[in-house]
Structure 1
Amino acid sequence: MQKMAHPKGSPLTASGKGITSGGENRAAAYKRHVIEVVLWVIGFVVLIVASIMVHSHPAPWPFDLQTTIAIQRIQYPGWLRACIAAISHLNDPVPAGITLALWFVGLAIFRKFQQAIFLGVGVTLADWIEFVLNHFVNRPRPSSPLIHVYQPEPIPSFPSGHTEHDMVYYGFLLYLSFTKPVRQWRYYRFLLPLQILAVVIMFTIGYSRILEGSHWITDALAGYLSGALLLMVLIWLYRWTTIKLAERKVKKS
């Protein structure tokens, strides 16, 4: 049986009933793919139903208002409040676009063209899809005499664009950092602080948007869900193209 090198180090087999082209047990791979697809479909249905409900009832739900009031009443230490605000503002469109462009250029300089395209183009397309959904639902931004809105914004509120962006952006960077080529890098252990920072930002961005009065909790939760769905699609496409590019390279050699 002819064997070929897989991009992640596993052998690619030209034939074999029990092994995929990526060197994975076919039955296990099929089961994993089924679970992933089922979870994705469930999440997609939940997002669509929630979007229709919010479109029909754009006013905040009682727990939306109560959650924002409770979060804004907490007495935060000055440094913590500044960190939470920074997480929110660093992901505004301009700074987020600049950092994404820098990542794209940096990866391209090191000839990581596939990663650069998926990160730059993939995240941009995900944000565009979120923008379309945002305007379809057309939920007004939080506004109530019981809460404080630190930075009024004219763009509709549901889902949270900052939350979706961070889920896809930092989520895909995390995924890349755990791929085998990166894990085999001699300085890989120095990426740990950046990996932790990415996780912290992903988990706190929704909270920061509620604290800022920019979104209701349902906006943030929808942003997490839509971001996770878009991230899964991005990773699926990346895996597929990685295998196809490896197979094409072997055929040419």
Structure 2
Amino acid sequence: MPRTIAEKRAAFRALHASGCFVLPNPWDAGSARYLQTLGFKALATTSSGFAWSVAHADNTLPREAILAHLRALVEATDLPVNADFESGFGDDPDGVAESVGLAVGTGVAGLSIEDSTGNAAAPLFPIELAVERMKAARRAIDASGGDTLLVGRAENFVAGVPVLDDAIARLKAYAAAGADCLYAPGIQTREQIEAVVAAVAPKPVNLLIGSTSTLTLQDVAALGVRRISVGGALARTAWGGFMHAAQALADGRFDGFTGAAPGSQLNELFRDHA
């Protein structure tokens, strides 16, 4: 039986209480439905994967398109969905609060707010402003009466400012500002991961593993991480297969379809969704 939004949010919060779980990132309703069949407990959107699917670069789609995408994924699965809500679609706290209120209305169980600006000359918001933006997101969630989980993201390692001390200072400030879960995409070493986990404890930490890693789920759990997401990695993998097959066609070959999923399997997967 499909779960209510409240039930999804409660289940999502419970996942963060102990252990470590994988939070894969579908980019459309079909990939979300398939991931549900594999037994995952929750899903997260990927701004890059969705943007590529509609022929845009990451972080270039308007708020309305992202909100529609969130609704589509929430409706496509019985699993809780965490929203990659980019930088909150507002430079100032009031703008972030308005956007977060709209995102909560889509039914997501969690959402993340980044501190990146998109400006190469000043890639991160000043920490004081970033904290005010996080507080605004917290107020918007609380005002909704829901239980949406707020994730604070320090973008240092993906925005060209790979300074661990600054990332940790930001994460600690976001935790104090009301973030329920903390996330520094781009950290990779055991030492970096352990430092982030220790700095924000007892609040849970999300780890991005978006490329081949020697770490296993058990390794990551032993480091104290509560959840693992993969960002656009699944979408990039799908694009890799598509591009390989399409390039073979362009070369006059038909050997690029090895490993393709059978149409009968896909039809069966989506039959009850017609």
Structure with the bigger percentage of strand: 2
Instruction: Work out which structure has the larger RCO, using CA pairs closer than 8 Å and 6 or more positions apart in sequence.
Output: 1
Fold-level match, TM-score > 0.5? Answer: no
Structure with the bigger percentage of helix: 1
TM-score by length of 2: 0.27
Q: Please say which structure displays the higher CA radius of gyration.
A: 1
TM-score by length of 1: 0.29
